A and B are shown apart, each in its own frame.
Chain A
Amino acid sequence: MAKTQQDFLVAARQEIPEVSVQEVQERGQPGDDFVLLDVRENDEVRAGYIDGAVAIPRGFLEFQVASKVPQTNKEVIVYCAGGARSLLAAQVLRSMGYENVSSMSGGITRWQDAGFPLQRDRQLNAEQLERYSRHFLLSQIGEKGQGKLLDAKVLLIGAGGLGSPAALYLAAAGVGTLGLVDADVVDLSNLQRQVLHSNDRIGMPKTESGKIAINAINPDVNVQAHNMRLTTDNVLDLFAEYDIIVDGCDNFPTRYLVNDAAVLARKPVVHGSIFQFEGQASVFKPHEGPCYRCLFPTPPPPGLVPS
């Protein structure tokens, strides 16, 4: 005789201990101690989840759990909407070798009824869900990471050879605010490498040209065109509006200005420089790693600087 839903649940309840929402709440933030595993579908998680929970839809449980919960001796508390799917998921985990698995009785519905808080990621619209869908396949990014990208403010110093590809990729990835600082206009001789610009925008300020290119790729991005030279008078006010500085400048005064201002303002700098066929990159995170002056305390004499 075929088994019913009830048969499955009764069997699971005999095998899997259940914990109450109060007990889970009293345990505090999941982490080193225990894993809180949400096995609902993505759209259910989107509507709200318990802070610190790891999400794996039940259909992907067997495929993803090893990468998200590597230690099988770690305590895992599973939850779903009402407490049924989590019982069945917990059974699967146990058969996979997870030693200490329980199911949260009543699921997130009872959690909410008890007045406990829900965490909600930034809500993405239908177009964004499709645009960034490939990011969601990457567990390191996911919808949560996409929310961070959309909330991020990145300032690009220079909309030229280095700034161009950085701007295009960051725009495509959905960085919500991109600032462009450049005082130049687009020149025909720029176009062989500065892929942010185009033939029909020769003579236009690079910041304006960049804004057109970025918005053509991704209308989600708010582009701030700072058509000016970076100076000691404006740099700190400008940096204050951004989270991360991407340095693609082409001269030493600006490089030292950017470095000093970033350390004073405690903003990380994603450094890049190129000369002919060679390039260098690093990340200068103030006080966590070196800054540009740790490497080169003072600039080279002007005669040695290639132009």
Chain B
Amino acid sequence: MVQATETVKLIVGQGEPLVGRLLMYDSLAMTFREIRLRRDPNCPLCGDDPTITELVNYEELCGLIPPEPVGAVG
């Protein structure tokens, strides 16, 4: 629901999307918390001087050896 709503907002260009914010939901306590996020200028990917400029081996990155299936299930 939250993801669908955010997607619609991005498409129509309305409201304040969760850019720079992480929404955290605890269904047992039924609480919503939010923390501010900032772009890290030293981020290896999107920082000012990125060191990652192409895709890497993600199984290896995650320490999964031998590589496990990367099927998306959720």
Shortest C-beta distance, B8 to chain A (Å), equals: 6
CB of A253 within 8 Å of the partner chain: yes
Shortest C-beta distance, B10 to chain A (Å), equals: 6
CB of A306 within 8 Å of the partner chain: no
A145 touches B22 (CB 8 A): no
B58 touches A253 (CB 8 A): yes
Q: Within B52-71, which residues are at the interface with A (CB < 8 Å)?
A: 52-59, 61-64, 67-71
Instruction: Bits for B1-27, please: 1 = Cβ < 8 Å to A, else 0.
Output: 111111110111111011111111111
Shortest C-beta distance, A135 to chain B (Å), equals: 9
Question: Could you tell me how many residues of chain B have their Cβ less than 8 Å away from some Cβ of chain A?
Answer: 55
B22 touches A280 (CB 8 A): yes
- CB-CB under 8 A from A252, the residues of chain B are 58, 62
Query: Known contacts being A169-B1, A256-B61, A278-B25, is A184 close to B71, with CB within 8 Å?
Result: yes
Q: Within A130-184, which residues are at the interface with B (CB < 8 Å)?
A: 140-141, 145, 148-149, 152, 154, 157-166, 168-170, 173, 175, 181-184
Interface secondary structure of A, over-half rule: mixed
Query: Known contacts being A140-B14, A248-B74, A260-B52, is A290 close to B3, with CB within 8 Å?
Result: no
Query: Known contacts being A253-B58, A299-B61, is A270 close to B44, with CB within 8 Å?
Result: no
Q: Within B16-45, which residues are at the interface with A (CB < 8 Å)?
A: 17-28, 37-40, 43-45
Chain B interface (Cβ < 8 Å from any Cβ of A): 1-8, 10-15, 17-28, 37-40, 43-47, 52-59, 61-64, 67-74
Interchain residue pairs with CB less than 8 A apart (25): A148-B13, A158-B73, A164-B74, A166-B1, A169-B5, A182-B72, A182-B73, A183-B72, A184-B73, A190-B73, A231-B70, A246-B7, A261-B55, A270-B10, A272-B3, A277-B26, A279-B24, A279-B25, A281-B18, A281-B23, A283-B6, A286-B46, A293-B45, A294-B39, A301-B63
